[in-house]
Structure 1
Amino acid sequence: MPYDRTIRLGTDFDTTVTAVRNALADQGFGILTEIDVKATLKAKLGHDMEDYLILGACNPPLAHQALEVDRSIGLLLPCNVVVRRAGDTTLVQGLDPGTMVTLTARPALEPVAADATTRLDAALQSLA
């Protein structure tokens, strides 16, 4: 089962990261966490890899709705968005919000997941 929503862009990494931040903000998502995987693996393991950034995006009203349905849903929050180099292109990947419904089997989360999916898709489409 696919668990991502992905687009491939011809823009450089730094330009893409800035555009992703703006696109997510336009859809009501703030960035709560940021993990520079490339820098972390280099510092901790001496391993070189392509640019790879994980952004923990959160839309507070949607997070609140989900937490009201299931307090354990915090295990799946925030919504991770990955920006990474893949050869000559940059990939932007978001965790499919429908995953929270599939994993929890809670139909009450469906409206939250649908709204989050609409917003994530709009953010991704604005980048293309």
Structure 2
Amino acid sequence: MGAYPAVAAGHVPTREDAMELGYRTTLQTTFDDAVARTREALGEVGFGVLTEIDVTATLKKKLDEDMENYLILGACNPQFAHRALGVDRQIGLLLPCNVVVRDDPEHEGSVIVEAMNPDVMVAVTDAPGLPEVAAGAGELLRNAIGSLTVK
């Protein structure tokens, strides 16, 4: 999956045009353990969880639809958020960074953890200084996701 950078009028975006939307790992553990480990890993690199959306419960309640465990955590690193907002106030539309923890419906006992790639913010604005902020936040998110596989 990817987000498309600006393209010429009439050009139909292809997979080759895509930017990776996020960083991903797969854990062999329970969903609850993966959520706890993800929260801990985010905290260790300076991200706090500001929001939590239980997609599974919401779809069940609103649509009576069943879905595997799927949780969206809104993670924020205050220093990087402050810097990004200092560059472009509209960046707030893209904050906080989403981190998804979800059961893998194709592999029982597997849980997928994905964090958004902050470079997506850079792709939608040409604000000077934002690439450096995104790179720093991206490094921390990669470290958090990467640390999950060594525990």
Q: What is the TM-score with the length of structure 1 in the denominator?
A: 0.97
* Runs of 4+ that moved beyond 3 A: none
Q: Hey, which of these two has a bigger chunk of helix by percent? A: 1
Match of 2:99 among 81, 101, 114: 81
For structure 1, the residue ranges without an aligned partner over 5 or more in a row are: none
For structure 2, the residue ranges without an aligned partner over 5 or more in a row are: 1-17
CA RMSD of aligned residues (A): 0.8
Identity of aligned residues (%): 54
Q: Distance in 2 between matches of 1:105 and 1:24?
A: 28
Q: Distance in 2 between matches of 1:19 and 1:124?
A: 10
Q: Does 1:108 align with 2:129?
A: yes
Q: What is the TM-score with the length of structure 2 in the denominator?
A: 0.83
Q: Distance in 2 between matches of 1:105 and 1:54?
A: 28
Structure with bigger RCO (C-alpha 8 Å, 6+ apart): 1
Deviates further, 2-11 or 20-29: 2-11
Q: Find the residue that maps to 1:104 and give its secondary structure.
A: coil
Q: Alpha-carbon deviation of 1:105?
A: 2.3
- Flag the structure with larger Rg: 2
Match of 2:30 in 1: 12
Q: Distance in 2 between matches of 1:50 and 1:104?
A: 35
Match of 1:90 among 85, 105, 111: 111
Q: Distance in 2 between matches of 1:81 and 1:10?
A: 18
Report if the CA contact (8 A) 1:101-1:107 is conserved: no
Aligned length: 128
